[in-house]
Structure formats: structure tokens, C-alpha cells
Chains A and B, each alone.
Chain A
Amino acid sequence: MERREMLKLIALYTGAAMIGGEFLLAGCKAPTGEDITFSDKVKSLLNEVGETILPRTDTPGAKDADVAKVMEVVVRDCYWPEHQKVFVEGIRQIDEEAKGRFGKTFMEISPEQRKELLIALEEEAKKFNEKVEEKDKPVREKMDKESKGYDFIASPRHYYTMMKQLTMLAYFSSKECLTEAFEYIPVPGRYDGAYKIKPGDKLFSG
């Protein structure tokens, strides 16, 4: 999948521009960020969150693609410190939410319960993000007007949105997805602008 296309898709389904992505450019004050590593326990949690969003069906799921590994690298190297903080805090919060709702940690609840929880978070995040965008809007517009839009850093969105974005980024660029859910053709060799498909045919990636 083309990178641009993927970022558009992620923005569409998370209602927020990709953090560190090309919609969100730059930093003027050169923050260094934390050298973040996730424990195996945290990685398992993130993989299960990912699997709830993109579960294995007749194609590989988020866990198969080990999305947590990419999440760690992107949060470590691409996230601004204030976004890192929200993400790391979110790892704790998602367990709190699970405990509040089901009396158990996220890892302990059933896949159905996980899905129920994330659907609730999806709603919560939507409202939360709308407020953040409202707050960011004048700043963004002012910087755009001054032709400095590239230095605008969006305020952190809801931690769930970050997790969903990174799940999608990691999954849709993974070997598992690109070679199994799609037909991977690194060297097409020719172009056909009217290639016929039937419903259910795999699309191409490369």
C-alpha cells in the first residue's frame, strides 16, 4: 500500500491526523523525547489492543503482525514528549478502564469484553479529540497564515486514538498484511489500467 494512501486511511478511521505523520510536521524547539522501551508485558497488552481493533479472520491479525514492536519504535523515535507521555499513561489507563468496567485487567477480560471496552473508548476519544481540535484550531490557523504551518504540533489526542493509529500503521505496513491479505507484487513489470476483478479477489500491494 502506498504510504500516502495508508496515512489517509488511518486519518479517516481515527478521526485524527497521524502523529508524526506527514499531516503533522515539525518542531521548533527541538525536544529530544524519552528513550522509551516497553516491557514484554506492555507489548502483550498493546498487541491485544491491536488484535481487538484488527483481529485475525481469514487474514492475519494485529498480533500476527506484532504491531506492538512497531508501536514501541514509533513512540520512541517519532512521538513528541507530550505525546509520549499520553501514550505511556494510556497503557495504565486502559487497565483502569477494564478494572472499572469488568473488575479485571485488560489482559484478563474476554475478547468480547475487550471489544466492548474499545467501542466505549472510541466514543470517548471522538468527543475528546473534537475538543482538542477546537482548542488547536486558532493556533493552527495563525501558524498557517504566517506560512509556518510546518511548525505546528497538534496537541495530544486521546490515548486510544494513538493506539488505533499505530495499530493501523504497523499492521498495514506489515509483511503479514501486505503478503497475505494482499497479493504482494514488488515488481509488477507491466501496467494494466483496466484489470478485471471479481468480488472477493485480493487487491495488490507492493
Chain B
Amino acid sequence: MADNIYDAIVIGSGIAGGWAAKELAEKGLKVLMLERGRNIEHIKDYVNANKDPWVFEHRGERTREMINTHPVLKRDYPLNEKVLDMWVNDLESPYIEDKRFDWYRGYHLGGRSLLWGRQSYRWNKWDFEANGKEGIAVDWPIRYEDLAPWYSYVERFAGIQGSYEALEVLPDSEFLPAMEMNIVEKDLARNLKEKYKGSRHMFIGRSANITKPMPEQNRVNCQYRNKCWLGCPYGAYFSTQSSTLPAAKATGNLSLEVNKIVTRLLYDKDSKKATGVETLDAINNQTYEYKAKIIFVCASAFNSTWILMNTATDIWPDGLGSSSGELGHNVMDHHFRVGAGGSVEGYEEYIEYGRRSTGIYIPRFQNIYGDKRNYLRGYGYQGGAGRGRGVPVAEMLGAEFKDAQFKPGKWYMGITAFGEMLPYHENTIKLDKEKKDKWGLPVLRMDVELKENELNMRKDMMAEGKAMLEAMGVKDAYEYDWGYAPGMGIHEMGTARMGRDPKTSVLNGNNQVWDAPNVFVTDGACMTSASCVNPSLTYMAMTARAADFAVKELKKMNL
């Protein structure tokens, strides 16, 4: 476009950015999407998607080099041979940890939409009310009813499979046919309902895997390979590449630039609006500017805040949105890696055919309907039953030992709790003054920890998990807490929260920066509290809602 002028700029191409680009372009705006990393072309660039397991040189193992060059990724499952090129280069983009913080990033087109767990849940009405009622942080400026139609809207397009349960605690989505629970899960779910007299529920994990073809999007239904992480050649799970990007491109209104790191927004103090963005080309280190009427900041929670922190520092030394005193504060994640497991007797004549890409879900039952715990909020469980391989024999090597490995083992059941983390003002990210990344840009400094509420909750997550499995009839039940460091949930939230008052929040109820109303932040940064359910579906709905608002305001000449 002439002189790099657009109607709208979308920063970031992950789940939020993809939705922003699609919505704005479909509404007729000329949109520029900026991605800091490399291009990944749908299907063509999923280089490992169709490889057989024996083709991988290290058979999926981590090499010394991978470990040495990935000081963050190495800390948990994200580092492995098969998906290495779908994660950030830790050495190029360091950060400082005042306290341990695991930051798993996807710096490429599509961002973490290519690597996400695809679990998709609506928030419930209590999630939006809790802060206000309990006097925690600030009240959400919106309620469930504000988001409900937008949940429906994004669900119909993204494609969410799940079962209708009619529960207040976990509102139903607009579902595609549900994936099936296996025979053991079905029986355990029935036992759970009976034992807890209908107050606890277990059903198929709701996920953005399509169970019916969506030819209008060129997407084929899930083939039960459970290799989503390698990129799906069928487009069977929702990602920017499979879903929102093609739709945005089809309008003819989208321009896309990769390898462009947005270093700051250009801010005009007279009009109190952003006029565009400054970018640094990640390859040639050249600076480019792009202009637009509105800007959607969807760079992932911390990077969206990083951009605000680097913006208009001549007016506010700590950046755009810092006048609230809350920019960079109230970091949240979901704490997990705690739960229970055990074995299930019988079902010897059954195995699973196909590899299902979701598990089961047990929604929150704590602190609702008169239930009271020694902490606020709650947690839900994800997990599943499966059949092990191999039966024990006396020999530890030889023919008998080998052949025993090909026999079906016992059925087992395991659950992991995902808990809500409260927003604490003192859980922060800041710009570090000294350290720079590969491009000479300042890096973030993390200071985040769990507090008493979460630690009390973890004990309950473990104990309830075991008690519940035992009640369901699971044998040899054990409980575990593998330990959790903030960030491991890969659900970073907060740092530019929404609110009702510019003195205590960065964004208003329409995701507009109070100090620059033509700047919208709609990714995890905007979250005022965290709920205990996976957040991506809410980012989709929030983004679509904000885009609709933005275009209406533009038409009214308000922006």
C-alpha cells in the first residue's frame, strides 16, 4: 500500500492476532498483519507432520546441543526433536528471572496457535463477578452476557468439539459432535456422578479439533493421529494457518509482513492516539514505519505489554498505559502439574483404536453452590484413561521379556488439576535497563510467584484428585505434585488489565487503552482475572468483540 498506510495494523499472528486480522479485513478494513518471526506456510511447512517415528534420527530424544541452546525450553516437555522449529530461539531472545519463570514462546507466523493444547472452554458468569464480589484486584468491566454471543460466533468458525452438559459452571459452546470417551472413561464418569450425587461431572475434553469436515475452510475432520503438534496436514485443529489467516486473505484486504519486530507504537500526544508502529526488520535490522487508524496489539500477553512499555516514553517514562500504575502488574498463569492416578481393573478385551487428541474434563466444583474451601476460586481436572503396554514377567531380558511387551497392559486413569491464580499487583514483568536481546532491544524481567491461596489450593487439588479416583473405583490410587513454576501453564495473562477506571486499569471494557483509544489489546494481557479454564477461546471471543466495536467506532468517526 502507498506510503505504508493502512486502516488497521494487527501486531502478532497467533490466536488473537489471527482473529483480529480476519474480523477487521472481513469488515472491509485494509489490514496489515505484522509477525516478528518467520513465515510458516500451512501444510507445506509442517515438515515433520507425515514422518514415521523411525525417521527421526534421535528417535525424539533431546540432543546436548538442543539442551544447551534452549535454556528455557529444556525445562519441560516443549523441547524435543520433532517440534523444535516451532519454538522460539531462547538464546536470541533472553529474559531475566528474578524468580524462576518459564516462558515458552512461538516466534513465527501463527505463533502458539500451531502448538496450543486446543482445549476450549467458556468462562462462566462467576468468573467475571468474582473479583468484584471478593474485593480482589479490580472488577471486570464486562460480564458473561457481554461475551456470550461472541463465544458463539467464534466457536462456529473455529470448530469446537464437545458434549452438551448444561452446567452453569462450564457453559456449553456451539459444539461439533463430541469425540467419544473410551469405555473405561464412560464407566468412571457414571460412577463419579453417582458417588457425588450429580454434583461432579466428567465428560470429553472440549477442544478445537473438528469432527466434521469444514469444506468452506478447506479443513478435513480429525484423523485421530494425535500429532497436532507437528502441524496438521488436514487442518483439523484450529490455528491461524488453518482457519483465520485464509479467511482474512480471502477478503483481499490483508497484507502480511513477517520478520518485523514491532519496537513501539507511534503516539501523537495532541490527538492522544497512536498513528502507527515502528518496526525492526529481524533479518536486515532496518527500521520501518507503518501508519494506521487503529492498532490491535496481539503480540502475546507479555510482548503486547512490552510494546506498550516502549511506547510514548517521552510522556510516560514507563510507557503507554502506565498512568494506571498497573502496566506490567498482575501476572497470572494456571498452576498445575498436581493430581492423581491409578489403575482400573477389568476391560481386558478392549483397547482403543485411533489416537484421540483430547482427554476428559472434570469442571470446577469448589467454592460454588455453598461449597467452601480454605482458598478462593477453584480448579478443574484434565486427564484420561488409557491402556498400558506390556505385562510383567519374571525375566528381565530375552524372548519371554520381549514378547511380554507386545501384550496389552492394565488400564490406568490419570488426572491433572489446572487452578486459578489470583492477580497480585506485585507479580510483575518490567523492562530491564541493561540486558538486550539479539536485536539490541531491552528484555523483560520476571518477578512472579504463587502465594498462599494457590498453595492451599494445590493441596486440595491433590487430595480431591485421589479421593475422587477412589470413589470412582480406580485402584492403587496415588497423588502427585510434580512442582510448578509460573509460566509452565503457557497461559500468561494480565499485565495490561481491563477495568472500569483509568486510574486502576490499562484497558477499558472494549479493550481500548485508556490513554490511546485507537489501540486495542485483546490477547492474554487484557485479562483481569484468570478463571481456571484454558484461556484461548476467551481471547478469540474478546478479539472478535473488540474488532466489531472498533469498526463501528471508526464508522462513527470516533477513532
Report B165-183 CB contacts with A as 1/0, cut-off 8 Å.
Answer: 0000000000000011111
**Cβ of B552 < 8 Å from any Cβ of A?**
no
In the complex, what residues of B have CB within 8 A of residue A70's CB? Answer: 59
Q: Which of A98-131 contact B (CB under 8 A)?
A: 115, 118-119, 122
In the complex, what residues of B have CB within 8 A of residue A30's CB? Answer: 68
Q: How far is the CA of A97 from the CA of B54 in the complex (A)?
A: 33
Q: How far is the CA of A181 from the CA of B405 in the complex (A)?
A: 10
Report A170-206 CB contacts with B as 1/0, cut-off 8 Å.
Answer: 1011110010011001111111111111100011101
In the complex, what residues of B have CB within 8 A of residue A164's CB? Answer: 397
Q: Which of B356-413 contact A (CB under 8 A)?
A: 356, 388-390, 396-399, 401-403, 405-408
A160 to chain B, nearest CB (A): 10
In the complex, what residues of B have CB within 8 A of residue A175's CB? Answer: 52, 54
**Cβ of A86 < 8 Å from any Cβ of B?**
no
Q: Do A21 and B61 touch (CB < 8 A)?
A: yes
Q: How far is the CA of A52 from the CA of B399 in the complex (A)?
A: 8
Chain B, interface SS category:
loop
Q: How far is the CA of A188 from the CA of B67 in the complex (A)?
A: 33
Q: Do A189 and B223 touch (CB < 8 A)?
A: yes
Q: Kindly report which residue of chain B lies nearest to residue A125, judged by CB atoms.
A: B396
A37 to chain B, nearest CB (A): 14
Q: How far is the CA of A15 from the CA of B311 in the complex (A)?
A: 55
Q: Kindly report which residue of chain B lies nearest to residue A15, judged by CB atoms.
A: B396
**Cβ of B65 < 8 Å from any Cβ of A?**
yes
Q: Do B52 and A191 touch (CB < 8 A)?
A: no
Q: Kindly report which residue of chain B lies nearest to residue A195, judged by CB atoms.
A: B353
- Chain A: residues with Cβ within 8 Å of the partner, total of 69
Chain A, interface SS category:
loop
- Give which listed residue, B58, B77, B396, B483, contacts A147 with CB less than 8 A: B483
Q: Which of A35-83 contact B (CB under 8 A)?
A: 52-55, 57, 59, 61, 70, 73-74, 77-80
**Cβ of A90 < 8 Å from any Cβ of B?**
no
**Cβ of B74 < 8 Å from any Cβ of A?**
yes
Q: Do A20 and B62 touch (CB < 8 A)?
A: yes
> Given A119-B397, A169-B61 in contact, is the A178-B53 Cβ separation under 8 Å?
yes
Q: Which of B180-196 contact A (CB under 8 A)?
A: 180-183, 185-186
Q: Do A173 and B224 touch (CB < 8 A)?
A: no
Q: Do A191 and B483 touch (CB < 8 A)?
A: no
**Cβ of B133 < 8 Å from any Cβ of A?**
no
**Cβ of A137 < 8 Å from any Cβ of B?**
no
Report B473-484 CB contacts with A as 1/0, cut-off 8 Å.
Answer: 000000000010
From A61, A149, A192, residue with most partner B Cβ within 10 Å: A192
Q: Kindly report which residue of chain A lies nearest to residue B387, judged by CB atoms.
A: A203
Q: Do B58 and A189 touch (CB < 8 A)?
A: no
> Given A53-B397, A122-B396, A188-B224 in contact, is the A194-B182 Cβ separation under 8 Å?
yes
> Given A25-B75, A55-B398, A188-B354 in contact, is the A193-B67 Cβ separation under 8 Å?
no
In the complex, what residues of A have CB within 8 A of residue B100's CB? Answer: 147-148
In the complex, what residues of B have CB within 8 A of residue A148's CB? Answer: 100
**Cβ of B57 < 8 Å from any Cβ of A?**
yes
A-contacting 9-mer, from B16-24, B322-330, B344-352, B522-530: B344-352
Q: Do B225 and A20 touch (CB < 8 A)?
A: no
**Cβ of B266 < 8 Å from any Cβ of A?**
no
Q: How far is the CA of A12 from the CA of B120 in the complex (A)?
A: 34
Q: Do A74 and B58 touch (CB < 8 A)?
A: yes
Q: Do A204 and B64 touch (CB < 8 A)?
A: no
B483 to chain A, nearest CB (A): 7
In the complex, what residues of B have CB within 8 A of residue A203's CB? Answer: 351, 389, 406-408
In the complex, what residues of A have CB within 8 A of residue B303's CB? Answer: none
**Cβ of B485 < 8 Å from any Cβ of A?**
yes
A72 to chain B, nearest CB (A): 11
> Given A73-B58, A194-B182 in contact, is the A26-B353 Cβ separation under 8 Å?
no
**Cβ of B433 < 8 Å from any Cβ of A?**
no
Q: Do A1 and B68 touch (CB < 8 A)?
A: no
**Cβ of B313 < 8 Å from any Cβ of A?**
no
Q: Do B397 and A204 touch (CB < 8 A)?
A: no
Q: Kindly report which residue of chain B lies nearest to residue A22, judged by CB atoms.
A: B77
**Cβ of B80 < 8 Å from any Cβ of A?**
yes
B470 to chain A, nearest CB (A): 23
Q: Do B62 and A190 touch (CB < 8 A)?
A: no
Report A135-172 CB contacts with B as 1/0, cut-off 8 Å.
Answer: 00000000010011110000000000000100001101
**Cβ of B355 < 8 Å from any Cβ of A?**
yes
**Cβ of A3 < 8 Å from any Cβ of B?**
yes
B104 to chain A, nearest CB (A): 13
Q: How far is the CA of A52 from the CA of B53 in the complex (A)?
A: 24
**Cβ of B4 < 8 Å from any Cβ of A?**
no
**Cβ of B285 < 8 Å from any Cβ of A?**
no
**Cβ of B63 < 8 Å from any Cβ of A?**
yes
Q: Do A115 and B397 touch (CB < 8 A)?
A: yes
Q: Do B396 and A1 touch (CB < 8 A)?
A: no
Q: How far is the CA of A19 from the CA of B397 in the complex (A)?
A: 19
A sample of 5 more A-B contacts (CB under 8 A), given A191-B224, A197-B351, is A31-B64, A178-B52, A190-B353, A191-B180, A193-B183
Q: Which 9 residue pairs are nearest across A and B when measured between Cβ atoms?
A: A193-B182, A188-B354, A191-B354, A194-B183, A195-B353, A192-B353, A150-B75, A77-B63, A173-B59
